[in-house]
Chain A
């Protein structure tokens, strides 16, 4: 079953703008991860945030986690055309230890 649900499904912005994607999930988790997928490629891990963390940064990426609301957000600042890709959240379920991926947000950054 797909636990994570991303919002929006698609996002189109201009280069230089910020992009925010949201993810909601249903069960208890050990951590939440964000991945990126370029068209025709495999997924690439971006960042992992543990259940006891609230915010994490990596370069132009900022991830927040609210376990009370069972939601996370990924912010990409100063977007570039090369950021065009699909972005997936994945939750590490506490009981099973396996990653459950959401449906993804397709981001288009126009130059």
Chain B
């Protein structure tokens, strides 16, 4: 199994631009999580899906952030418009169910200039 796949691995963009991060979870996993990691705030859960349905999006910073999971093998996290304070590493993780071992992707390092 290839593990959780994220793309792109690095993204540099200018303030105001739209950014779309992509994630392919491990096949058969029912739960998918989006996290953001920064030095100041550590690892924050943004949103998680169970069986493609968003369960908890209380961690999404503001309306500029949106996430979708159109099917069991694909999810996107979109930031529109992006701001310099959105610069962080964004991780996608998947698991067989809520509350058990999570498998993390390699992350997308986002820099907003």
Give the interface of A toward B (CB within 8 A).
2, 30-31, 33, 41-45, 48, 88, 92, 96-104
Contact B106 A48 (CB under 8 A): no
29 sampled A-B residue pairs with Cβ under 8 A:
A30-B99, A31-B99, A33-B101, A33-B102, A41-B106, A41-B107, A42-B4, A42-B93, A43-B43, A43-B91, A43-B102, A43-B104, A44-B104, A45-B101, A45-B102, A48-B100, A88-B43, A92-B99, A97-B99, A98-B45, A98-B48, A98-B98, A99-B33, A99-B45, A99-B102, A101-B35, A101-B43, A101-B45, A102-B42
Contact A45 B103 (CB under 8 A): yes
For the complex, what is the distance from the CA of A96 to the CA of B98, rounded to whole Å? Answer: 9
For the complex, what is the distance from the CA of A82 to the CA of B62, rounded to whole Å? Answer: 39
Contact B42 A103 (CB under 8 A): yes
Please provide the 10 A-B residue pairs with the shortest distance between their CB atoms, ordered closest to farther.
A42-B104, A97-B98, A92-B99, A101-B43, A45-B101, A43-B104, A103-B42, A97-B99, A42-B106, A42-B107
On chain A, the residues within 8 Å of B44 by CB distance are 2
- Of B56, B98, B101, B105, the residue contacting A42 (CB under 8 A) is B105
Residue of B nearest to A43 (CB): B104
Number of interface residues of B (CB under 8 A): 21
Q: Is the interface of A mostly helix, strand, loop or mixed?
A: strand
Chain B positions 44-81 with a Cβ under 8 Å from a chain A Cβ: 44-45, 48, 56
For the complex, what is the distance from the CA of A58 to the CA of B105, rounded to whole Å? Answer: 23
Q: Give 15 new A-B contacts, CB below 8 A, not counting A43-B43, A99-B102.
A: A2-B42, A31-B100, A33-B102, A42-B93, A42-B106, A42-B107, A43-B104, A45-B102, A48-B100, A88-B43, A92-B100, A97-B98, A97-B99, A99-B99, A103-B42
For the complex, what is the distance from the CA of A51 to the CA of B45, rounded to whole Å? Answer: 22
On chain B, the residues within 8 Å of A45 by CB distance are 101-103
A30-B99, A92-B99, A97-B99 known; A42+B91 contact, CB < 8 A: yes
